[in-house]
A and B are shown apart, each in its own frame.
Chain A
Amino acid sequence: MEVKKHYWNQYQKEIADDDYFYERSCIRQTFFPGSETTFLRIMKEELGKNIMDDPNLHTCTGIGYHSDVVAFDTTQTVCARIFSLMTDSGLKNYVPSCVTSFGLFTELIETWKHFPEELEKTRENLRKATGREFELPTNIAHPSDVIFKFRKELKEKMKYQLVNKHTGKPLKVVEHIGCHYGKVFSQHSIGGAEFPHVLAGMIEEWGGEVVDYPERRHCCGFGFRQYLVMANRGYSVANTKKKFESMKPYKPDFIVANCPGCTMFMDKWQYTIAEMEGITYDEFGKGIPVLSYEEMAGMLLGYNPWDIGMQTHQVQVESLLDKIGVEYDPKDKYIGKSGNYIGEPEKPENLKV
């Protein structure tokens, strides 16, 4: 049985070694403002890679496209403009921060492969609208793929491990890859959709233990039509609640996700559920901390948690930092980059801080 457990190995993909063109997410900078900067810092400072962060980038229309408010022709043209910016840069390895962008770009490349007339139409539309031309990327990888690829190199530089310093035992980590990472084209993900390994590989390499709970593959609650339409929002919370109830018996130390929405909803809905029903999913009423994979890597590399944005989380991260033994100064938590006090959020009634 042990051998079979590694059959995620059949899902592998090509991930470029260097020279990346990075596309930031529309929403991550609001919800987890330090994650993308942390990724760029890791790529440049820890791994010495060439990566371009182009300020002229824009939406891929992913959320609008999946919600049926943006037409496919428009989506293709807007995404083609992003490719044209990459073409200008001379880079060919495309790395979109958002999982939905990753799924969408993969879908477009696949569409254009099977329906070349759609590619020609898109070229024509972009030409008419902007006068721009574009080349297709030679490699598309999600940043989590890139971190997975270099997980061993990063481990050597890490100051901490995913180990409880009090017990010496591996931390129990729930991972969530996001539907658009693995469920659109499982062959373009590490480990496939059923037993994904992109985050699990990082967790295991860095000393932690992956929690395989029954609702591991279930949606996080970020289903676009569920949360965008207010009348449907109960479905969103219900999905997230289902996951929390399923993972609770395993007593996870934290959750790590690689999708902007998944990370946000699994973090913030814990507050909502606590307010609605007075329920929390950890032993102490504080909730289960939710990290992006960049935050997880940055934290283990010894970056100041407040520099990588961990104070903006709904579920507070100090319990996790203390378990690992991460050094931090509580007084700096709400001190901004300018050195000024940035204010503190109100404390919730039921989710303890």
Chain B
Amino acid sequence: MEKERILIIGGGPAGLEAAYNLAENNYAVTIFEKDTEIGGNIKKWVKLFPDFGDAAEVRKNFKDKVTRQDIDIKTDISINELYSENGKWFAKNSSGNVYEGNAALLATGFETFNASRKEELGYGIYNNVITSVEFEQMYKTGKIITAEGKTPERIAFLNCVGSRDEKVGNHYCSRICCINAVKQAIEFKELVPDAEAYCFYMDMRMAGQFYEELYRKSQEKFGVTYIRGRISEAAGTIDNRIQIKSEDTLTGLPLKMTVDLLVLMVGIESSDSTTALAKQNEINGEYGFAKSVGLHGSDNLTKKEGLFLAGSCKRPLTLPETIADGRAAAIQIIEFLKLKVKN
């Protein structure tokens, strides 16, 4: 008997974890990944918070798990249409190829906020204003340097770029930026112990396990300075440094300093695929994310029979949460297909 097939849109952690668990339970899976390689946003990271785990190793583990006959991985394919007909699900790509399955899982993940939308922060204007993603890519080379090739003597990290920001229309917290700033500040101080590292924040949201400990360690062991205040303006100086203006809201005083490198901790936004495919299926929720039936107990279900959700296509999630959610989605899909056979 031919195995039932599940179409998974997105080859990131949620999609891969779901695919592995479905295959383990004797289902056939097709994964559609728009990039050349699977792995999703982990591809951009070197070390993971809060334990400085090796992102490449996590990615390799995923790859090993899904490299098997019953998982068909199709890379460089963007799904433009996702629809159901007569109890089957169909995914159509830009070339017009249509793929058929018994159920579909939307695992289209997130995209990071385009920092140039915060014009006052000078991203894309001044070369020494970079994003947290660019910091990570630079860290991969083993050194953090300015655009002029100098080792920074002073660096600033700014949290909530594109998150909790009414001006850009994102009221929500992206949940990963605070701890990522702590991680990256430590990484920087490990590389350049004599340099100064400042982290500007509204609230340090250290809700995950070992987050608070890492935050404390960053101050006690590495001397990272935390300033409660948003940066209102970043401007280039004649020597290509960045002048920043803020207010230290704990002391109530305005603050101006010049740094060699400003790192913008960009938040999480819905990916274009998520927004488009969710809208097609009338499951579009707030801020372009996909909407599940309910947070408690039915968070992987949608109002469309046979269409499921996993990972950050619903809202910002950490990596462990995403992986767990992919596994949960697999269980929901298995239950659905079993029930369908029974009926």
Contacts and interface: CB of A to CB of B under 8 A. Distances in A.
A63 to B, nearest CB: 26
A254 B19 CA distance: 65
A215 B116 contact: no
Interface in B123-163: 124-125, 127
Contacts of B119: 7, 192-195
Given A4-B125, A5-B125, A214 B236 contact: yes
A15 B326 CA distance: 53
A297 to B, nearest CB: 27
A195 B237 contact: no
Contact residues of B: prevailing secondary structure:
mixed
A214 B127 contact: no
A5 B238 contact: no
A214 B120 contact: no
B233 A217 contact: yes
A250 B124 CA distance: 22
Contact of B127 (A1, A192, A194): A1
13 contacts: A1-B124, A4-B116, A4-B124, A4-B125, A5-B125, A193-B119, A213-B235, A214-B236, A214-B237, A217-B233, A217-B235, A249-B238, A250-B238
A216 interface: yes
B124 A214 contact: no
Nearest to B122: A194
B78 interface: no
Contact residues of A: prevailing secondary structure:
loop
A133 interface: no
Contacts of A7: 116, 119, 124
Interface residues of B, number: 12
B332 interface: no
A192 B117 CA distance: 12
A194 B243 CA distance: 14
A212 interface: yes
A250 B235 CA distance: 14
Given A1-B124, A5-B124, A249-B238, A214 B116 contact: no
Interface of B: 116, 119-120, 124-125, 127, 233, 235-238, 243
Nearest to A5: B125
A192 B127 CA distance: 21
Contacts of B235: 212-217
B120 A194 contact: yes
B11 to A, nearest CB: 30
**Interface-centre pick from A5, A7, A194, A216 (highest chain B CB count, 10 A):** A194
Nearest to A8: B119
Interface in A1-28: 1, 4-5, 7
A216 B235 CA distance: 8
Nearest to B238: A249
A243 to B, nearest CB: 12
B283 to A, nearest CB: 31
B251 to A, nearest CB: 21
Interface in A212-262: 212-217, 249-250
A226 to B, nearest CB: 16
Given A5-B124, A5-B125, A195-B125, A213 B116 contact: no
- The list of the 6 closest CB pairs from A to B, nearest first, reads A4-B124, A194-B119, A214-B235, A214-B243, A249-B238, A194-B120
B333 to A, nearest CB: 43
A34 B262 CA distance: 45
Given A4-B116, A192-B119, A194-B119, A213 B124 contact: no
Nearest to A211: B238
Contacts of A216: 235
Given A1-B127, A7-B116, A192-B119, 12 more contacts: A5-B125, A7-B124, A193-B119, A194-B120, A195-B119, A212-B235, A213-B235, A214-B236, A214-B237, A215-B235, A216-B235, A250-B238
